[in-house]
Amino acid sequence: MGIRFAHMTDQRGAEACIAEIRRLNCDLGLPSGLRKLNVQDSDLAKLAQAALKSATGITNPVQANMTDLITIYQLAM
């Protein structure tokens, strides 16, 4: 990415990474949110339910619940 983290706080480093990922996504023409993928608010519970069943959740150090996942999806809209 080319970001120099040496003199950044953790917070500033995280913000710089997020900004760079957003810039890269834009350069690649990737959608910037779930709405641009035609995801509707009414889809979020179904998506969260599927995520709860996903095997990848087992390896996550913080186990998410239905409310957590819906909140994450809402923020990604």
Tokens at residue 66, please?
A: 């239905």
What confidence tens digit (pLDDT) does each residue in 13-56 have?
999 999 999 999 999 999 999 999 999 999 999 999 999 998 88
Exposed, middle or buried by CB within 10 Å (0-12, 13-18, 19+), for 13? middle
Instruction: Kindly report whether the global pTM for this prediction surpasses the value 0.75.
Output: no
More confident residue, 35 or 2: 35
Provide the pLDDT for residue 55: 86
The upper half-sphere exposure of residue 54, i.e. CA atoms within 13 Å in the direction of its Cβ, equals: 16
Per-residue confidence (pLDDT) for residue 1, from 0 to 100: 60
- Is residue 20 within 8 A of residue 1, CB to CB? The reply is yes
